[in-house]
Amino acid sequence: MRPELQISLVLALATQVLSQAQPWGQCGGNGWTGPTSCVSGWCCQASNEWYSQCIQGSCGGGATTATTRTTTARTTTASTRTTTLATTTRTTTSSGANPTTSSGSGTCSGGSAAVNQLQGYGTGTTGGGSGSGTTVTSCSALEAALSGTTGGVIRISGLLNGCGTYRVPSDTTIVGVGSNSGMVNGGLYVRRVSNVIIRNLKLSPPAKGDAVNIDGSTRVWVDHCEFNSLGLVGGKDDFDGLLDVNHGSDFVTISWNKFRDHWKGSLVGHSDNNASEDTGKLHVTYHHNSFTNVNSRLPSVRFGTAHIFSNCYSNIPTSGINSRMGAQVLVEQNHFRNTQLAIVTNLDSDYDGYAVHRNNIFDSSDIRITQVGSFSSPPYSYTASPACRVCDLIASSAGTGVISV
């Protein structure tokens, strides 16, 4: 072959490779102008109309298909960014593992969950019952109310400052009075107990501790609380987590809370070396929460099983949902805005986790899923709100002062 033909052939092959998306790379979605096919052995799989990704494997016997339509300019107010979209590319495969959503445009329909109702893995938690209970206005009164083997109903009135961390007994409900009650520089330690409810509290964690630490406990519901600290200042280890679930805890629901301005959000499973205690446990539901300006762990899950639906993520610098050490997560009807690694399965641990995701919105957010999971249907009935509505719904209906307790 003549040298000039060899050079032309090499250049043609190089151009073809460069025009294909690399493994785990983006290959389609609204406004995407890059390659829409993947390198050999990888298939372009749609996550939703904003994002398609190269997933390892075949395309089910058929070629990847794409539909393109003309669109108009779109403005997103989160970062005051205007993007003119010449085309919209939607890439589909025959696998159907991750259905798409068209929630970003047109009508937005779908049911909304009841704001004052327990659902998910924590269903059946009754706490301290329905009595009027004891109202406390000081750290010493709170400590005394929690000193028994069962706490009953404890109502915190006002913001208690500098209490430290108190252990919570079984069969206890702790609720805040009104919209501005809770603990500043204090925390609740739910250790080796069962049947605990924590609701309507503002919680700012102490240095080197969690705002709420669920440790070896079962049947816990954390609902309509607000968690925050000083923001992303200092070092990430200056504070611990906002809400952690560890040491084989099980059957937990975390709902209608607001998490903001912190380094570490919510850790499920504290160590890569704790398989013997955690495997088969750590069943946790997260729904209708907002995570704003939190660096990572939203949640980070080791070994466990997490159902994460109808949450709102905004301005997450490092990672959102991190599935690791064989964890199984089902992620659906969430809205991710400006979230680095909205869903990731190969970060921070020696072994990857698994993820199934469907009907989410990824706005300036990316994903990196190395293993598609087997957890696609939770063992309970539930009502999810559509991803296109969750951020507005959570802004008005999550956090303190919304429910009557």
Can you tell me the distance from the alpha carbon of 324 to that of 327, in angstroms, rounded to the nearest whole number? Answer: 5
Give the residue from 245, 158, 236 showing the smallest Cα distance to 202: 158
Q: How many residues does the chain have?
A: 405
What distance in Å separates the CA atoms of residue 320 and residue 369, rounded to the nearest whole number?
13
Distance CA 359, CA 309 (A): 10
For tokens 């607000």, name the residue. Answer: 226
- CB of 41 closer than 8 Å to CB of 21: no
Is residue 297 among the annotated active site residues? yes
Cβ(361)–Cβ(48) below 8 Å: yes
Identify whether the C-beta of residue 45 lies closer than 8 Å to the C-beta of residue 26. Answer: no
Which two structure tokens, joined as six digits, stand for 128?
A: 């301290």
Distance of CA 207 to the CA centre of its chain: 24
Whether the CB-CB separation of 210 and 240 falls below 8 Å is answered with yes
Cα(29)–Cα(48) distance, integer angstroms: 7
Out of 155, 297, 302, 358, the active site residue is 297
- Amino acid letter, residue 217: S
Burial 39-77 (b: 16+ CB within 10 A, else e): eeebbbbbbbbbbbbbbeeebeeeebebeeeeeeeeeee
Q: What is the CA radius of gyration of the chain?
A: 23
Residues 6+ apart with CB under 8 A from 28: 36, 44, 46, 51, 52, 66, 89, 90, 91
355 closest CA partner among 386, 319, 391, 389: 319
Q: Which of 400, 379, 387, 383 is nearest to 117 (CA)?
A: 383
Catalytic site positions: 297
